[in-house]
Amino acid sequence: MSLELSSDVTEVLSPSSLDLEGSLVDQVHKALRAVIVEMRLRPGSMLSEKEIGACLNVSKTPIREALIRLVEERLVTVVPKSGTRVALIDIERFREGCFARLHIEVAAAAQAATLRSDAHINQMKANFSRQREALEKEAYWDFFLCDEQFHALILKAAGLPGLIPIMKLAKVEVDRIRSLRNRLGVRRTEIVLREHEAIVEAIAARDPGRASQAMRDHLGEVDQRTWALGEDHVLWSFIESVSKVPAKKAFGFTG
């Protein structure tokens, strides 16, 4: 199975890409970030301010400011004499994202079990219902968004809402690879549903030990997540083709 991603920003952006919430810079940033993280735009693709402006019907100033934000997030790179491009997949950053997510969210699940309110549990259960509905409709991107909201709700229940944007940035490469898996049809949604249910039950029961273990089981250890990539040869080959260094070398594999 091959994976075809667009290298042309004009194929993935249009005025409807803007959600009309927040400043124009916010809207452009959100639209560009979405096509990059969702892997609709191939890593290494050129990003022309003129073409983006024509697609979105927006002037250069908000586009330039949005691109600066994306550079700070390491989703866009500026290459001298080459121009502005979508950042290549960085598998070391993937490992860092897995590490940050594991250690922060395991601790947050335990704290949520101690601090949560009935309202927090109701919000998690409502989100869980939306996850199941999205899965039944095979609306996998909606499922992904519900998954993001679910983990944000746990941070809120733990009294740590300020970590939500920090985690969003830390795990950006994890999300790009999750998007790749989704596009390749490599999904574990039914397993994720059961794991999410176990997390909610443990938090609802005010059992921090069980909650932290349920979250650890859900996210997996960093080495486990890394090795899992190698089990799908199509995904592995694609990652190597758009990585800064050969994936096997970066992961410390030989042979």
pLDDT tens track for 45-64: 999 999 999 999 999 999 99
User: Is-contact 89 242, C-beta < 8 A?
Assistant: yes
Residues of the chain with CATH 1.10.10.10: 9-86
Mean pLDDT for 137-164 is 94
Q: Distance between CA atoms of 18 and 114, rounded to whole angstroms?
A: 40
pLDDT for the residue 233: 66
What does the mean pLDDT of the chain come to?
A: 87
CATH architecture of 9-86: Orthogonal Bundle (1.10)
Percent of the chain whose pLDDT exceeds 70? 85
Q: How is domain 91-250 classified at the CATH fold level? A: Four Helix Bundle (Hemerythrin (Met), subunit A) (1.20.120)
For 59, counting Cβ atoms within 10 Å of its Cβ (0-12 exposed, 13-18 middle, 19+ buried), the class is exposed
Q: Given this model, what pLDDT does residue 190 score?
A: 87
Query: What is the pLDDT at residue 217?
Result: 93
Q: Which of 80, 7, 73 shows the shortest CA–CA distance to 46?
A: 7
Q: Provide CATH 1.20.120.530 ranges for the chain.
A: 91-250
Tell which wins on pLDDT, 224 or 26. Answer: 26
Phi, psi of 137, deg, nearest 5: -90, 0
Percent of the chain's residues with pLDDT above 90:
62
Can you name the residues that pair with 79 across neighbouring β-strands? Answer: 83
Q: Answer yes or no: are the C-beta atoms of 174 and 180 closer than 8 Å.
A: no
In this predicted model, which residue has the larger pLDDT, 95 or 160? 160
Match 């985690």 to its residue by tokens. 167
Average pLDDT over residues 17-41: 92
Q: How many CB atoms lie within 10 A of CB 244?
A: 13
- For 187-228, write each residue's pLDDT tens digit: 778 899 999 999 999 999 999 999 999 999 999 877 666 656
